């Protein structure tokens, strides 16, 4: 998914102490104990931005964990309404501060104010917070289950302090202190320690200020939400494996994510990582003949949207060899060459994209267009298309599935259906996979043959649409087999399912009625759906 940025890092000098931004620990904004700072850059100008942000030392991280553990114990039996009230007030405060938050994100990421930040991502973020609030208040997300004969009852309850690592490419909707993981963790009843991304620290600080204000106004304990900006790699691994950590949500590079996953797995701590995905698009012959020009337009728009920096941009397109396929590739190359190259999220994203393209070339791909610098004054790279034969893909399928995160994609041209099938079988796990087929039925038999091959390799299967959009829908799966994510059974987008990542199954056997959580008592405290003796109902018992 997103690549790590490379911010300007320095040792803190004495005269800089007063200009260093504060961390949010234990319900207070205060100076960090750290001796190192970093600065972000404006990707559109390569200008180093003036604010200094601390690298938190382990003592500071551990203090945040201790505070979070105390908060978790205090709020363990709170009703969902308490968390819903906080989330709703937080959404209101984000909207009240929208102008400053959007301006900051634009400066730190070069993402356009419209339509991306103001019209798209910010409303999505506040909508997620409100959807999570509704789920927390209603309660069905917890899957309350009651066996009256055995007098055994169970539900998902809070798992404890949740650590959220935000990515670089969604400064609002996936932000460590405002995005989907944050909303889900809070709605499930957990305190959150947010680790901001180093490419947009000011934006994260502004969001954290709103979260802190909302926590105070709604009576949350000090330290319910906390913010650190950066740690060492070693301390990040210690954080996710700490005994006080309940679970971790991480979105970012595969390399860093795997280090964190290994640390968490070693001590049995749940960690939900989103790592990388090339999101294959398979265009069947009938669709090419019927509407090849239209599909070219959809592909170019999807691949270049946001300069290709969505985790669901199509990074690999699979075609059967034909004249129509050659025309499609030529047309796509022309569109990529003619389109202006967008600004990448930072120098780290720029370096990562170039490295990914180089890996594809080394594995056997040929550059059709692009793959060169276009404007040294900003972070960018030419729109790039590559090509490889199906036979050569099968010689190095791992190398040719290297994620080039940005405005680049790879065409794979197979000579036969058998070769096409063999290629699909070599796919790694992906967030999405898509088939384009004709509307008259000529591709139906081939679709029926190939779709079962692709299905196990993708979390979300699409027909006749590019995969870039991720709707915040209860039916959405923004997840998939490794290495798209660390676990194929969970989603980072889609409420209420996303909340269940941050719950633990809690069973009550012959517990006295007055000692049970409200959702497991005979009388339903609200409108939650509960499984009572294998029947889902909103009613009471007896």
Catalytic residues: 274, 311
Q: Quick one: which of 307, 441, 282 has its CA closest to 379?
A: 307
Q: β-strand 366-369 against 316-320: which pairing, if any? A: unpaired
Cα–Cα distance measured from residue 163 to residue 166, given in angstroms and rounded to the nearest whole number: 10
Measured CA to CA, the distance from residue 313 to residue 384 in angstroms comes to 14
Q: What's the token pair of residue 6?
A: 């490379």
Question: Is the omega angle on the peptide bond into residue 115 within 30 degrees of 0, that is, cis?
Answer: yes
Instruction: Count H helices and E strands in the chain, helices first.
Output: 14, 24
432/276 Cα distance (integer angstroms): 11
Question: Are 173 and 128 a contacting pair, CB within 8 Å?
Answer: yes
Contact in structure between 307 and 273 (CB atoms under 8 Å): no
Assess contact for 310 and 468: CB atoms under 8 A: yes
How many whole angstroms separate alpha carbon 238 and alpha carbon 249? Answer: 15
Rounded (10°) CA dihedral 477, 478, 479, 480: 70
d(CA 388, CA 361): 9
Cβ 32 vs Cβ 22: under 8 Å: yes
Helix (H, G, I), strand (E, B) or coil at 272: strand
| DSSP calls for 31-62 | --S-SEEEE-EETTTTEEPS-BEE---HHHHH
Helices 233-240 and 58-75 pack at an angle, to 10 degrees, of: 20
DSSP 441: S
Q: How far is CA 160 from CA 88, 141, 185, 192, 226, in A?
A: 21, 17, 9, 9, 14
Q: In what order do the strands lie in the sheet with 503-509?
A: 503-509, 152-158, 145-147, 530-532, 535-537
Question: In sequence order, what are the beta bridge partners of 39?
Answer: 8
90 Ramachandran zone, left/alpha/beta (phi>0; psi -120 to 50): alpha
Distance CA 1, CA 498 (A): 18
**Angle in degrees, 0-180, between the axes of helices 80-96 and 180-187, rounded to the nearest 10:** 150
Question: Token pair for residue 86?
Answer: 């906080």
Q: Count CB atoms within 10 A of the CB of residue 289.
A: 15
């Amino acid at each position: 998914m997103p690549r790590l940025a490379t911010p300007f890092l320095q040792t803190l000098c004495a005269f800089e102490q007063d200009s260093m931004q504060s961390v949010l620990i234990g319900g207070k904004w205060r100076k960090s104990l750290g001796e190192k700072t970093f600065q972000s850059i404006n990707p559109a100008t390569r200008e180093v931005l003036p604010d200094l942000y601390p690298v938190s030392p382990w003592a500071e991280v551990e203090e945040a964990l201790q505070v979070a553990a105390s908060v978790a114990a205090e709020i363990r039996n709170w009703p969902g309404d308490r968390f819903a009230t906080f989330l709703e007030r937080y959404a209101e405060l984000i909207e009240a501060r929208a102008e400053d938050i959007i301006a900051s994100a634009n400066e730190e990421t070069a993402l356009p104010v419209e339509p991306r930040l103001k019209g798209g991502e910010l409303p999505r973020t506040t909508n997620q917070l409100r959807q999570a609030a509704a789920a927390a208040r209603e309660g069905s997300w917890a899957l309350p289950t009651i066996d009256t004969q055995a007098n055994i009852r169970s539900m998902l309850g809070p798992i404890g302090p949740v650590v959220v690592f935000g990515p670089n490419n969604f400064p609002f909707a996936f932000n460590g202190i405002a995005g989907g993981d944050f909303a889900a963790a809070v709605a499930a009843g957990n305190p959150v320690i947010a680790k901001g991304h180093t490419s947009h620290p000011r934006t994260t600080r502004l969001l954290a200020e709103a979260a802190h204000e909302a926590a105070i106004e709604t009576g949350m304990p000090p330290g319910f939400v906390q913010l650190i900006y950066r740690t060492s790699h070693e301390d990040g691994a210690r954080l996710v494996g700490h005994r006080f950590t309940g679970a971790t949500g991480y979105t970012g590079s595969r390399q860093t994510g795997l280090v964190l996953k290994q640390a968490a797995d070693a001590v049995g701590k749940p960690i939900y990582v989103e790592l990388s995905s090339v999101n294959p698009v398979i265009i069947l012959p009938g669709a090419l003949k019927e509407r090849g020009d239209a599909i070219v337009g959809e592909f170019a728009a999807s691949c270049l949207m946001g300069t290709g920096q969505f985790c669901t941009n199509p990074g690999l397109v699979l075609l059967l060899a034909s004249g129509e396929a050659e025309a499609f590739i030529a047309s796509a190359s022309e569109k990529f060459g003619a389109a202006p190259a967008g600004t990448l999220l930072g120098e780290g994203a720029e370096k990562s994209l170039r490295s990914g393209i180089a890996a594809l070339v080394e594995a056997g791909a040929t550059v059709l267009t692009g793959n060169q610098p276009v404007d040294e004054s900003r972070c960018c790279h030419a729109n790039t298309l590559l090509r490889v034969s199906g036979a050569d893909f099968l010689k190095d399928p791992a190398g040719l599935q290297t994620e080039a995160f940005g405005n680049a994609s790879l065409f794979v041209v197979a000579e036969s259906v058998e070769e096409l099938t063999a290629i699909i079988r070599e796919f790694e796990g992906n967030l999405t996979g898509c088939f384009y087929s004709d509307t008259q039925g000529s591709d139906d038999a081939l679709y029926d043959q190939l779709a079962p091959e692709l299905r196990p390799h993708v979390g979300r299967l699409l027909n006749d649409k590019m995969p870039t959009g991720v709707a915040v829908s209860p039916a959405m799966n923004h997840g998939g087999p490794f290495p798209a994510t660390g676990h194929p059974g969970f989603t980072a987008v889609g409420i209420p399912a996303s909340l269940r990542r941050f719950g633990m199954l809690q069973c009550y056997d012959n517990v006295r009625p007055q000692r049970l959580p409200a959702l497991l008592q005979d009388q339903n405290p609200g409108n939650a759906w509960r499984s009572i003796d294998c029947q889902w109902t909103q009613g009471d018992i007896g």
